[in-house]
Amino acid sequence: MLDSTAMTMGKDKPAAGADMVAAIRDLSSRELAPLVQKIDTAGHYPEAYMRAYGRAGGYAAHLPSETAPDIDTAVRAMAAAGEYCLSTSFCIWCQDALGWYIYASDNDGLKETLGARVATGAALGGTALSNPMKSFFGIEGLRLKGKRVEGGYIVRGLLPFVSNLGDDHYFGAVFEVEGETKQNVMAIVPCASEGLTLADNTKFVALDGTRTFAVQMRDVFIPDTLVLAHSCESYIKRIRAGFVLLQAGMAFGLIRDCINLMQQVKGPLGHVNKYLDAQPEHFAEQLDAMERKVSALSATPFETDPGYWRTVIETRLVAGEASVAAAHAAMLHCGARGYVTTGAAQRRLREAYFVAIVTPATKQLKKMLADMAH
Q: How far apart are CA 37 and CA 245, in angstroms?
A: 28
Part in contact with ligand FAD (CB under 6 A); list of ranges 111-119, 124-132, 148-156, 322-330: 124-132
Q: Show the beta-strand stretches assigned E in 131-278.
A: 145-149, 152-162, 170-177, 183-190, 196-199, 213-223, 227-229
Asked if 94 interacts with ligand FAD (CB under 6 A), we say yes
Nearer to ligand FAD, 30 or 218 (CB): 218
Part in contact with ligand FAD (CB under 6 A); list of ranges 30-38, 114-122, 205-213, 217-225: 205-213
Part in contact with ligand FAD (CB under 6 A); list of ranges 15-23, 77-85, 129-137, 315-323: 129-137
Q: Which of 89, 212, 315, 346 binds ligand FAD (CB under 6 A)?
A: 212
Q: What is the DSSP letter of 56?
A: T
Asked if 323 interacts with ligand FAD (CB under 6 A), we say no
Q: Shortest Cβ distance from residue 194 to ligand FAD (Å)?
A: 22
For residue 217, the one-letter residue type is M
Asked if 326 interacts with ligand FAD (CB under 6 A), we say no
The residues in 8-27 that bind ligand FAD, with binding defined as CB under 6 A, are: none
Nearer to ligand FAD, 21 or 104 (CB): 104
Nearer to ligand FAD, 140 or 178 (CB): 140
Backbone angles phi, psi at 367, to 5 degrees: -65, -45
Asked if 88 interacts with ligand FAD (CB under 6 A), we say no
Q: Which of 1, 48, 357, 369 binds ligand FAD (CB under 6 A)?
A: 357
Indicate the helix (H) or strand (E) that contains 11.
Answer: none
For residue 41, the one-letter residue type is T
Q: Shortest Cβ distance from residue 126 to ligand FAD (Å)?
A: 5
Part in contact with ligand FAD (CB under 6 A); list of ranges 114-122, 265-273, 310-318, 356-364: 356-364
Q: How far apart are CA 210 and CA 115, in angstroms?
A: 21
Give the interface size with ligand FAD as a residue count (CB under 6 A): 21
CA distances from 171 to 115, 188, 291, 318 (A): 12, 6, 28, 28
Nearer to ligand FAD, 14 or 121 (CB): 121
Asked if 254 interacts with ligand FAD (CB under 6 A), we say no
Query: Using an 8 Å Cβ cutoff, are 182 and 158 in contact?
Result: no
Asked if 356 interacts with ligand FAD (CB under 6 A), we say no
Asked if 221 interacts with ligand FAD (CB under 6 A), we say no
| Strand, helix or coil for residue 188 | strand
Asked if 261 interacts with ligand FAD (CB under 6 A), we say no
Nearest position to ligand FAD, beta carbon: 130
Q: What is the DSSP letter of 212?
A: -
The residues in 157-196 that bind ligand FAD, with binding defined as CB under 6 A, are: 160-163
Q: Shortest Cβ distance from residue 320 to ligand FAD (Å)?
A: 11
**What are the b/e assignments for 223-249, b being 16+ CB within 10 Å?**
eeebbbbeebeebbebbbbbbbbbbbb
User: Which residues are 153's β-sheet partners?
Assistant: 148, 222
CA distances from 197 to 27, 67, 141, 219, 220 (A): 33, 37, 22, 11, 10
Q: Shortest Cβ distance from residue 41 to ligand FAD (Å)?
A: 15
Of 117, 111, 62, 58, which Cα lies nearest the Cα of 88?
A: 58
List interacting residues with ligand FAD (CB under 6 A). Answer: 94, 126-131, 140, 160-163, 204, 207, 210, 212, 357-359, 361, 364
